A = this chain, B = another copy of it.
Amino acid sequence: MRIALLGGTGDIGQGLALRWAYDTNHEVLIGSRDPERAREKAEEYETELDSRGVDSEIQGFANEMAADRAAVVVAAVPAYHLVDTVEAVADRLGDAVLVSPAVGMKRDDDGLHYNRPGAGSVTALAAEAAPEDVPVVGAFHNLAAGRLADLDASFEWDTLLVGDDEDAKGIVADLAEGIEGLRALDAGGLANAAEVESVTPLLINVARENDGFHDLGVRFE
């Protein structure tokens, strides 16, 4: 399957790109507002994979071009760029599934807090910005980007999927479980996204407050 990572030059995009290229046969496209930057990062990822004996072909494009070519489009951008990014590629999505991993957070002296948008969740913002017939799935919210992007690191994490289109959710679940150590769990409809997104600041707070804990993910058991 061909997967476009809009904002694939950022930290979560890098992690997903490297893991899919390393663990699966999916074709990964790196998107960026700056196509030259996308090409540079795609080459950097290829070099990293090549050093591990994996002959991958990762290409870089402007976000619109990446979205145009893919069956699954992951908006791997910060929450404050999400709406702009989705709107910019809206007429290129075709039959693609749009995946939203972004979380809004604000920091104060106590740590990070979930910054719930008026739409109810950041995933709901993505759904509002997307064309009505494009299924939106929230996923990959709670992955520690640093550990994900370090192919020497392993994990046993869950990723929680929210969305109102069960077929689309099934496609994203299969993509997620292609990554070694990642288990996809269904957290229900889009309306359940806020509780999923809230886990991200919690993971960062727990890592900050406990010695020896860093780059945390979560496991339901």
Please report A residues at the B interface, Cβ cutoff 8 Å: 108, 110-111, 113-114, 155-157, 160, 185-192, 194-196, 198-199, 201-203, 205-206, 208-210, 213, 216-221
A49 to B213, CA, bound (A): 36
Question: Copy number of this protein in the oligomer?
Answer: 2
In angstroms, how far is the closest chain B Cβ from the Cβ of A107? 12
A187 to B188, CA, bound (A): 26
Contact present for A155 and B221 (CB under 8 Å): yes
Contact present for A209 and B195 (CB under 8 Å): no
A206 to B189, CA, bound (A): 11
Contact present for B206 and A201 (CB under 8 Å): no
Residues of B within 8 A of A155 (CB): 221
9 sample A-B contacts, Cβ–Cβ < 8 Å, listed by A number: A110-B191, A111-B192, A185-B209, A187-B209, A188-B205, A188-B208, A195-B201, A218-B219, A218-B220
